[in-house]
Amino acid sequence: MGLTTEAVAARVQVNIPFGFLWDGYLEIFLRGGLHPEIGLDATALTRYPPETFAGAARAFATAGRRITLHGPFQDLLPGALDDLIREASRVRLAQAFALLPVFRPAAIVCHTGYEERLYRWERDQWLDRSAALWGPLAAQAAAQGVNLHLENVYETDPALFLDLFARLDAPNVGLCFDVGHLLAFGGGDFDGWLDALWPHIGQLHLHDNAGDGDHHLALGQGKVPLVQVLEFLASREVRPLITLEPHQEGSLLPSLSCLAEIWPWD
């Protein structure tokens, strides 16, 4: 069905790092009617005091905006075999999860940190250690009514997520299916990933590329099969949260326009 760009904007999140949000984009989001997915990276978690996060949360709550969060991920290895690295990852993630009562998001997105080249020989051990770290965080999120969505980045096998979800066995844990990452890094087997994981998809990260890098182009400017993904999920009555991830000035409106033309839900 065709929608206006304004109607699509009301249905999706737009990714924005907290530093950018607080240092110039907050008013743009508020004036533009945008719903944020706020990135809580290590710099923001270190730089800003609690009252700053609370101020941003109040501004969006007053405006009636839906919030999702993106947890820190750079340098983090939640399933690390090295106890020191894994503990540092847990501490940094815990800082983000402590802000769940402040922002009251619908979901928080996090990365697993899995890379086949590093862990292929210790896959089961990695899965056990990863599940042991995510389990308490998932329970903490559930207590706040928040879903935890684990996002694919360098993973090439959907079975990894199935095994991790089975170990966690938590109803508020699901997949953030990043379509750009699958094409750029994961092999591009959209049929296989959708068939295997569609019951677990709670969120989509939408951006585009030509398969030669994670360029975060506007939708429709690359080779990501957006229509296939959206129509597949709609045909199975799956309606995930959707987040646009524009990384260039001027790419948000083209993405909204593209999505308006192919939006498959009522």
Percent of the chain scored above 70 by pLDDT?
A: 100
The predicted-structure confidence for 237-252, as pLDDT tens digits, reads as follows 999 999 999 988 789 9
Q: E strands of the chain, at which residues?
A: 13-17, 35-39, 68-70, 107-111, 147-151, 173-178, 201-206, 241-244
The model's confidence at residue 115, banded by pLDDT at 50, 70 and 90, is: very high
- Per-residue pLDDT averaged across 176-197, rounded? 98
Closest residue by Cα to residue 39 from 19, 54, 13, 64: 19
Contacts of 199 (CB under 8 A, 6+ apart): 238
- Per-residue pLDDT averaged across 62-88, rounded? 98
pLDDT at 1 over 80: no
Tell me the average pLDDT of the chain.
97
Domains and CATH numbers, the chain: 5-262 (3.20.20.150)
Q: What is the pLDDT of residue 42?
A: 97
Q: What is the pLDDT of residue 2?
A: 72
**Distance between CA atoms of residues 131 and 137, nearest Å:** 10
Would strands 13-17 and 201-206 be described as parallel, antiparallel, or unpaired? unpaired
Dihedral, CA of residue 179, residue 185, residue 191 and residue 194, to nearest 10: -50
What residue type is 158 in one-letter code? P
The predicted-structure confidence for 33-73, as pLDDT tens digits, reads as follows 999 999 999 999 999 999 999 999 999 999 999 999 999 99
